[in-house]
Amino acid sequence: MADEQRSVTQVTKAIIPVAGLGTRFLPATKSTPKEMLPIVDKPAIQYVVEEAVSAGLDDVLMITGRNKRSIEDHFDRAYELEEALRVKADIDRLNSVRESSDLAQVHYVRQGEPRGLGHAVLCGAAHVGGEPFAVLLGDDLIGARETLLKRMIEVRQTYGGSVIALMEVEPEQVSLYGCAAIRPTDEPDVVTVTDLVEKPPVDQAPSRWAIIGRYICDPGIFDVLRKTPPGRGGEIQLTDALRELARRGPAEGGPVHGVLFRGQRYDTGNKVDYLRTVVEFACERPDLAEEFLPWLRDFLARHEAGSTR
């Protein structure tokens, strides 16, 4: 990236926590990280790295744990495979194999103990140093045409502090997310965050605006995380540290703003949403849709009629 561009964006690093056990997808995730489950023909984690790179963040730090080696292999060169494809002159597949290793500078730090998302982010402190940085959670995929992360970086440039992505969800869904109390700004897609609660019961939720897994964090968050006690589920929560920053002025790492996102987001964190994501991505793929969509329509018609066998 050119120097002048770097000084405009300032945010150049992304943290992607991938240490989770993926218990919701057992037994598939017994020996395969959930981040490596394919969305059509690419592992979910690659879409997340592509999103970071397209927002100008080509320094990616993954916070990993045991059983995650295949993620490292995926973003590394695969000489034997590449050679075999080269000998067969299978250029398309060769390019697809090279793509993931050429994408970004990917670094790895191990979390060691599963002490929560806030703790995972804190494991990136030495790598990130004193710069603002992005956090991308792998369970949330953002449509490839969206510019959410770029917009969040812009908002950080304008207002300083930290920035979270917010999406309006149904009341019965708020207990699955970090939830924000917000105040409007002069910009229709930007709000000031006045409070945050991690996974509140519906009757205690400050709004229906939920944190989706994209953050731009001020480096001041590391000091706060070091002092943040375990919160919901006995884990050190990123939401709790951001809540603290939301109360602070610019000299102390605050404030926190939210970008209201109304675009395409796909959840891959549970089985039904994962299946939806795979089907939607397949229907958007020009090389697959022509064959897949008519089959899907026919399957549904047969299903309605009770004769899918």
> Cα angle vertex 57, ends 52, 60, to 5°?
80
Q: How many residues bind ligand G1P (CB under 6 A)?
A: 14
Residues 6+ apart with CB under 8 A from 230: 115, 116, 236
* Distance in angstroms (rounded) separating the CA atoms of residues 175 and 50: 29
Q: Which CB sits closer to ligand G1P, 100 or 265?
A: 265
Q: Which CB sits closer to ligand G1P, 100 or 209?
A: 209
* Distance in angstroms (rounded) separating the CA atoms of residues 57 and 150: 10
* Distance in angstroms (rounded) separating the CA atoms of residues 153 and 117: 21
- Residues in region 263-292 near ligand G1P by CB under 6 A: 269
What string marks each residue from 4 to 23 as x (binds ligand G1P by CB under 6 A) or -? --------------------
Q: Which CB sits closer to ligand G1P, 150 or 232?
A: 232
Q: Retrieve residue 179's tokens.
A: 């939830």
How many C-beta atoms lie closer than 10 Å to residue 302's C-beta?
Answer: 12
- Whether cis (ω within 30° of 0) applies to the bond prior to 33 is no
User: Which range in 38-46, 135-143, 221-229, 289-297 contacts ligand G1P by CB under 6 A?
Assistant: 135-143
| Type of residue at 121 | V
Q: Which CB sits closer to ligand G1P, 18 or 106?
A: 18
Q: Where are the beta strands (DSSP E) in 38-177?
A: 38-39, 42-43, 59-64, 105-110, 133-136, 140-142, 162-168
Q: How far is the CB of 306 from ligand G1P (least distance, A)?
A: 36
198 binds ligand G1P (CB under 6 A): yes
- Residues in region 162-181 near ligand G1P by CB under 6 A: 177-178
- Residues in region 114-133 near ligand G1P by CB under 6 A: 117
* H-run or E-run covering 295: helix 286-304
Q: Which CB sits closer to ligand G1P, 39 or 210?
A: 210
What string marks each residue from 205 to 224 as x (binds ligand G1P by CB under 6 A) or -? -----xxxx-----------
Residue nearest to ligand G1P (CB): 178
Binding site for ligand G1P (CB under 6 A): 117, 137, 139-140, 177-178, 198, 210-213, 237, 239, 269
